[in-house]
Chain A
Amino acid sequence: GESVGLHLPTLSVQEGDNSIINCAYSNSASDYFIWYKQESGKGPQFIIDIRSNMDKRQGQRVTVLLNKTVKHLSLQIAATQPGDSAVYFCADVYNNNDMRFGAGTRLTVKP
């Protein structure tokens, strides 16, 4: 089956810098995308989502960009803080009932 993948398994940034986490998906029919944050010892937590009719969506310190032409999704975190250290998963959804997680990127924030 088709799956969602990530370019980099780990990312290390300095506190205060911006972080960019990338994701490639393969199902061109996917119409909804989600970013989750999973801290150590916890379940995934919804961060932000975007529908396929949009190319950008902003939240508090986070922005998701969607490029459907190349099937690429990114999560930008502004002014990264130690509390942002976690594993970040993207997920794509097809037809509201089929969701696939990507492999995850571990973000480490250095003080």
Chain B
Amino acid sequence: DAMVIQNPRYQVTQFGKPVTLSCSQTLNHNVMYWYQQKSSQAPKLLFHYYDKDFNNEADTPDNFQSRRPNTSFCFLDIRSPGLGDAAMYLCATSRTGGFSTDTQYFGPGTRLTVL
């Protein structure tokens, strides 16, 4: 049974056209994360929500925003996608948010193509 679901799995957008990626979870976890993973690279944390509290990484561009309307759903908004934003976007959850005291569960990712 899917626990972290990402839709769509593949998304194509045009340069500069806003795009939203979605993530949902059936685990009832408090924390939801968004990672960017470029080809052949490691995932890079963009931001996370602890419940309703938003935590942005210092080097995440302003072009990336996130919303979490309820426990189950979290959205990644890219306001003006550039060619360099083409990547796999991974959503993850954890119960408490402690990296060494908890386990992260990753979704399958959404591969974003920017034309």
Residues of A within 8 A of B (CB): 9, 31-32, 34, 41-46, 51, 89, 93, 96-99, 101-104
Choose among B41, B44, B99, B108 the residue that contacts A43 (Cβ–Cβ < 8 A).
B108
Choose among B4, B42, B92 the residue that contacts A102 (Cβ–Cβ < 8 A).
B42
Contacts of A96 in B (CB 8 A): 98-101
- Check if B40 is an interface residue, CB within 8 A of chain A: yes
CB distance from B25 to the nearest CB of A (A): 12
Contact yes or no, B108 A97, CB < 8 A: no
Contact yes or no, A43 B97, CB < 8 A: no
Contact yes or no, B100 A31, CB < 8 A: yes
Knowing A101-B42, A104-B40 are in contact, say whether A46-B103 is a contact too (CB < 8 A).
Answer: yes
Contact yes or no, A32 B108, CB < 8 A: no
Contacts of A31 in B (CB 8 A): 100
Q: How far is the CA of A41 from the CA of B43 in the complex (A)?
A: 14
Q: Total interface residues on B, using CB and 8 Å?
A: 21
Contact yes or no, A32 B99, CB < 8 A: yes
Number of A-B contacts (CB under 8 A): 48
Contacts of A32 in B (CB 8 A): 99-100
Contact yes or no, B109 A43, CB < 8 A: yes
Q: How far is the CA of A50 from the CA of B33 in the complex (A)?
A: 23
Q: How far is the CA of A98 from the CA of B58 in the complex (A)?
A: 13
- Check if B90 is an interface residue, CB within 8 A of chain A: yes
Contact yes or no, B100 A51, CB < 8 A: yes
By beta carbon, the residue of chain B nearest A45 is B106
Contact yes or no, A93 B42, CB < 8 A: no
Residue from A9, A41, A44, A89 having most chain B Cβ neighbours under 10 A = A44
By beta carbon, the residue of chain A nearest B58 is A1
Knowing A101-B42, A103-B41 are in contact, say whether A93-B106 is a contact too (CB < 8 A).
Answer: no
CB distance from A105 to the nearest CB of B (A): 11
Q: How far is the CA of A41 from the CA of B10 in the complex (A)?
A: 10
Contact yes or no, B100 A44, CB < 8 A: no
Q: How far is the CA of A104 from the CA of B88 in the complex (A)?
A: 15
Q: Which 7 residue pairs spanning A and B have beta carbons closest together?
A: A43-B106, A32-B100, A101-B42, A99-B99, A93-B99, A96-B98, A93-B100
